[in-house]
Amino acid sequence: MTTQQSQRAVVIYSGGMDSYTVLHRALREGYDVHALSFHYGQRHSRELEVAERVCRELGVAHQLVDIRAIHGLIGASALTDASQQMPRADYAEENMKATVVPNRNMILLSLAIGHAVNLACGLCYYGAHGGDHAIYPDCRPEFVARMNAVAAIANYTPVEIRAPYLHESKATILAEGLAMGLDYANSWTCYLGEALACGECGSCRERLKAFAEQGITDPLPYRASGV
């Protein structure tokens, strides 16, 4: 990896609390960060709006990439199909498989790797974490390992995929972010795009549990029934 490559990093930044922490971790590690957010047909754009605002305030290079044209190919998910009932359960429960978007991370990582090559950048971050393993195949260690193997040979210059929280819990991610002084009001986690977070979907439940484990209150506002 050249000196120029080692100074730059592409970060897949959804606007959620995991990628928010990863973004700041990359910045703390001294990288010139290029953040990528993707609109792939998800049910709402609240996270993406947060991501744009955060990057603007930080002065971080940011691109919001519209790939909604693929929605008809991968739209059979509760995250992309508003006609489906959103599961209100913990991530470990079987019905949360309805929130899997087929091949999503492989698609997003492929685009991010291409962008990294285009920038002469040898590093791409994304926010998979240990709590995702039970439900999401493209957040598991073996997926990251094999994508790294492909990213090393797919172009003339290798790109490393780095998932710093791959074996960590949501609470550990939160603890590290709090130690960095991060304000998690600058993130959005709820699978629904309403004015207030629902507190009941798997994503909200995991987030609230992480805050409870740290003994603090989540700064996001929730519907009264969700907390």
Q: Over the stretch 93-113, which tens digit does the pLDDT of each residue have?
A: 677 788 778 889 999 999 999
pLDDT, residue 226, reads: 45
In a domain, 222, yes or no: no
CB-CB contact of 62 with 70 (8 Å): no
pLDDT, residue 41, reads: 87
When divided into structural domains, the chain yields a total of 1
Alpha carbons 179 and 28: distance in angstroms, whole number: 12
In a domain, 44, yes or no: yes
- Rounded to the nearest 5°, which phi and psi values hold at 129? -140, 170
In a domain, 223, yes or no: no
18 is in an annotated binding site: yes
55 is in an annotated binding site: no
Report the run of H or E that residue 11 belongs to, with start and end.
Answer: strand 8-12
190 is in an annotated binding site: yes
19 is in an annotated binding site: yes
In a domain, 218, yes or no: no
In a domain, 75, yes or no: yes
The C-alpha angle with vertex 190 and arms to 75 and 41, in degrees rounded to 5, equals 25
In a domain, 200, yes or no: no
pLDDT, residue 91, reads: 62
198 is in an annotated binding site: yes
In a domain, 121, yes or no: yes
The DSSP secondary-structure symbol of 76 reads -
Sign of CA dihedral 59, 196, 125, 110: negative
Ranges of the chain with pLDDT below 70: 1-6, 81, 89-93, 224-227
Question: pTM (2 decimals)?
Answer: 0.91
CATH of the domain at 70: 3.40.50.620
22 is in an annotated binding site: yes
Tell me which residue range forms the domain holding 10. Answer: 3-189
pLDDT, residue 132, reads: 80
The DSSP secondary-structure symbol of 92 reads T
20 is in an annotated binding site: yes
* Helices (H), ranges, 7-103: 17-28, 46-58, 71-74
pLDDT, residue 76, reads: 80
Alpha carbons 212 and 204: distance in angstroms, whole number: 12
The C-alpha angle with vertex 174 and arms to 171 and 124, in degrees rounded to 5, equals 110
Alpha carbons 57 and 98: distance in angstroms, whole number: 35
In a domain, 66, yes or no: yes
Alpha carbons 202 and 190: distance in angstroms, whole number: 8
202 is in an annotated binding site: no
The DSSP secondary-structure symbol of 85 reads P
pLDDT, residue 92, reads: 62
CB-CB contact of 45 with 15 (8 Å): no
